[in-house]
Structure 1
Amino acid sequence: MTIVKIENVRVLDPIQKTDSVRTVYLENGKLAAETAHASEVIDGQGKWLMPTMVDLCARLREPGQQQHGTLKSEGKAARENGILHVFTPPDSQPIVQDNGALIHGLVEKAMLDGGIYLQVIGAQTQGLLGKQPANMAGLKKGGCTAVSNANEPFMDDDVVLRTLEYAAGLDMTVVFYAEEPQIAKDGCVHEGFVASRQGLPMIPALAETIAIAKYLLMVEVSGVRAHFGLLSCGASVELIKAAKAKGLPVTADVAMHQLHLTDQLIDGFNSLAHVRPPLRSAADRDLLRQGVKDGIIDAISTHHEPLSSSAKMAPFAETQPGFTAFDTYVPFGIQLINEGLFEPLQWVEKVTAAPARVANMYERWVEEAGWALVDPALEWAVSKDSIVSNGKNTPLINQTVKGKVLKTFAA
């Protein structure tokens, strides 16, 4: 039995809503009573201790895309960066997330191989083809609490409405990554000056906001609990705000990189800045930040999408979208604090308790969560060697950042 003593550490505890410097004892990742028999003593001066994080959207690439990452490699990356609970969308290749029995196997493998609690979002339609509702009752038996069609289109809006009514009857959440395909078409970047100058096909903000507005009307009719993931536009915040004001059962999250990076990064056809939804304008970024601060956007996710180096080597529009994000999640969070958007405990809430509540697993998270020791002042270079994930695909490559998880304590 391992007991660790951490002296004079700043404990940021969103469960007790406390922020205090003290000496703590951890036994198998849990706070324990004071004892004289600690097997390890750590000087916590200047360090933070926070609960392990909950990530509402990460692709771990297994099954089917192991050239980019595996449950072992990405589970390790998540855990070492203080993330113990990970939700993954249902668009693996091949798609197994419309089969409750196969999902149970994935969850077990994620814990055995990567040491993380994986939560699989089930498929909303069979094979994500957008034609027929998936067997949601079977998915629920397999452990799914939510369904989504990921980034795949629906055949028509009647299919959407039927799946929402089905999910509502099972008390399951529907997760939307809202994008209207007829408007987005073959676009790959934000509709703006940089894209126009480079002649890249564009995805206007309207593609997101029209889809959100339409789905909100269906949510109101069906009564289903809905979560809008990976918001990228300032106008989307206003739609979610209005829905919440009406009392609709709606929540939202934003990817951490959308609170920092803008479409300026695509200049020079920088394929490392290719992500979907795309990086938007500075005005959008600022409105998203305000939306998180005001609580309209409930939580911050990583939107981790590891990719092999070859996936970013084609001409920009033909490269695969995605950022590796586990390793830069805490530095980006520390930056939000240093720029005055949050107090430390407020940021911790947005990446721990808040996403746990969104996922209706707060009590489970409290029971299973460990603790992460963070050095908020540690400067380190983002490089292929320092990134734990198999994916090295980040626009932050070769930059120096501040803040790092030193150690994760968990059972």
Structure 2
Amino acid sequence: MSIVKIENVRVLDPIEKTDQVKTVYLENGKLINAVDQVDETIDGQDKWLMPTMVDLCARLREPGQQQHGTLKSEGKAALANGILHVITPPDSKPIVQDNGALIHGLIEKAKLDGGIYLQIIGAQTQGLNGKQPANMAGLKKGGCTAVSNANAAFENDDVVIRTLEYAAGLGLTVVFYAEEPQIAKDGCAHEGFIASRQGLPMIPAIAETVAIAKYLLMIEATGVRAHFGLLSSGASVELIRAAKNKGLPVTADVAMHQLHLTEELTDGFNSLAHVRPPLRSIQDKELLREGVKNGVIDAICTHHEPLSSSAKMAPFAETQSGITAFDTYVGLGIQLIQEGVFEPLEWVEKVTSTPAAVANMTARWQQESGWVLVDPTLTWTVSKDTIISQGKNTPLLGQQLTGKVLSTFV
């Protein structure tokens, strides 16, 4: 039990929608009224205080891939960077997210080992085989509020429709990471001049938009609540905009790196820039920024995917896709503010209250959230030493970022 006093700090509160400088008192991560006796006093001059963040998509690698990361290592990295609630896709190896009892055990282990609240998206089909619906009733009983087939393909569209009807009947959200497998095939890079010159197999943006368009028709037919994660194409923003204007129950997010990085980083076969969906064009980046600014894209996630160094050592197309992202999340967010995309409170909403609402956990987030002290002027260099995550795989290595979490109070 400790009471912390933070003097003259800029409090960015998305719940009250206030942005003001004041002195606050925290006890075990909760705001309390002023008291005479405190255990620690912090000078908050030129610092920001914001709620702990909610990440809609991160892979922590446990169970099954502990060579890349563990619930302990990645939980520690998330918490140190102000992220308390982490939502993971159902594609661990082995796949356990089609078993409600096993999911409950992972949630408990994440809190015990890593200090974070883990929310697991259940498998949409058994073992993500794309053939038979998973036991969604059992998954809901185990604590899942959403299901997804992650990046695994469906056997046919009839399976998709049956699983959407099943999810709708249970009140579950279906999460799509939209990619049409017949178009994407074995691609690994954005379809454009850079990939073509290097002879890399390509994933055109239409692989994403065709899948989104098809799924939107199914959503309209079944009435299921749906979320589109990890948008990468500017054309996808227009499809989501049209769906929302039509009144369909859809939301969307974008990974932070898609708002900053482009296909140019893949030049020279830079495998650290190998991510799926791929980094796309400058125009896509600008349209994605516009989409998240105006609310068509609801939230920003990390798309954290830690990997061991050996996973990035093969030729580009044979390397494992993924970028470690917890440690650069706040710095890249503050860069968006510096570049005029957001006001500070707008950015805070995109990484706290809005993703909590998307995940249908607003009340829970408000009850469990703590506070994060951020220095928006602290300049630091991204390196293997400054990255807390077990995975050091980012194309930002060696670059300077401004903005870093100083403390997380929970």
TM-score under structure 2 normalisation?
1.00
Question: Residue 403 of structure 1: CA displacement?
Answer: 0.4
- 1:123-171 CA distance string (max 9 Å, x none): 0000000000000000000000000000000000000000000000000
- 1:54-111 CA distance string (max 9 Å, x none): 0000000000000000000000000000000000000000000000000000000000
- TM alignment of 1:2-401, pairs within 5 A: 2-401=2-401
Task: Read off the aligned partner of 1:290 and give its amino acid letter.
Answer: E
Provide the C-alpha distance between the structure 1 equivalents of 2:358 and 2:72, rounded to a whole number of angstroms.
Answer: 26
Provide the C-alpha distance between the structure 2 equivalents of 1:399 and 1:14, rounded to a whole number of angstroms.
Answer: 30
Task: Read off the aligned partner of 2:89 and give its amino acid letter.
Answer: P
Runs of 4+ in structure 1 over 6 Å off: none
Provide the C-alpha distance between the structure 1 equivalents of 2:399 and 2:12, rounded to a whole number of angstroms.
Answer: 28
Question: Residue 398 of structure 1: CA displacement?
Answer: 1.1
Question: Residue 19 of structure 1: CA displacement?
Answer: 0.2
Provide the C-alpha distance between the structure 2 equivalents of 1:104 and 1:153, rounded to a whole number of angstroms.
Answer: 26
Task: Read off the aligned partner of 1:14 and give its amino acid letter.
Answer: P
TM-score under structure 1 normalisation?
1.00
SS of 1:131's equivalent in the other structure is coil
Runs of at least 5 residues in structure 1 that lack an aligned partner in the other structure? none
- 1:327-366 CA distance string (max 9 Å, x none): 0000000000000000000000000000000011101101
Provide the C-alpha distance between the structure 1 equivalents of 2:385 and 2:341, rounded to a whole number of angstroms.
Answer: 31
Task: Read off the aligned partner of 2:229 and give its amino acid letter.
Answer: G
Question: Residue 399 of structure 1: CA displacement?
Answer: 1.0
Aligned-residue identity in percent: 81
Backbone CA RMSD of aligned residues: 0.3
Question: Residue 400 of structure 1: CA displacement?
Answer: 1.0
SS of 1:50's equivalent in the other structure is strand
Task: Read off the aligned partner of 1:365 and give its amino acid letter.
Answer: W
Task: Read off the aligned partner of 1:130 and give its amino acid letter.
Answer: G
- 1:171-225 CA distance string (max 9 Å, x none): 0000000000000000000000100110000000000000000000000000000
Q: 1:405: which partner in 2?
A: 405
- 1:260-288 CA distance string (max 9 Å, x none): 00000000000000000000000000000
SS of 1:331's equivalent in the other structure is helix
Provide the C-alpha distance between the structure 1 equivalents of 2:214 and 2:38, rounded to a whole number of angstroms.
Answer: 57
SS of 1:280's equivalent in the other structure is coil
Provide the C-alpha distance between the structure 2 equivalents of 1:18 and 1:114, rounded to a whole number of angstroms.
Answer: 31
Provide the C-alpha distance between the structure 1 equivalents of 2:257 and 2:69, rounded to a whole number of angstroms.
Answer: 20
- 1:272-306 CA distance string (max 9 Å, x none): 00000000000000000000001000000000000
Question: Residue 36 of structure 1: CA displacement?
Answer: 1.2
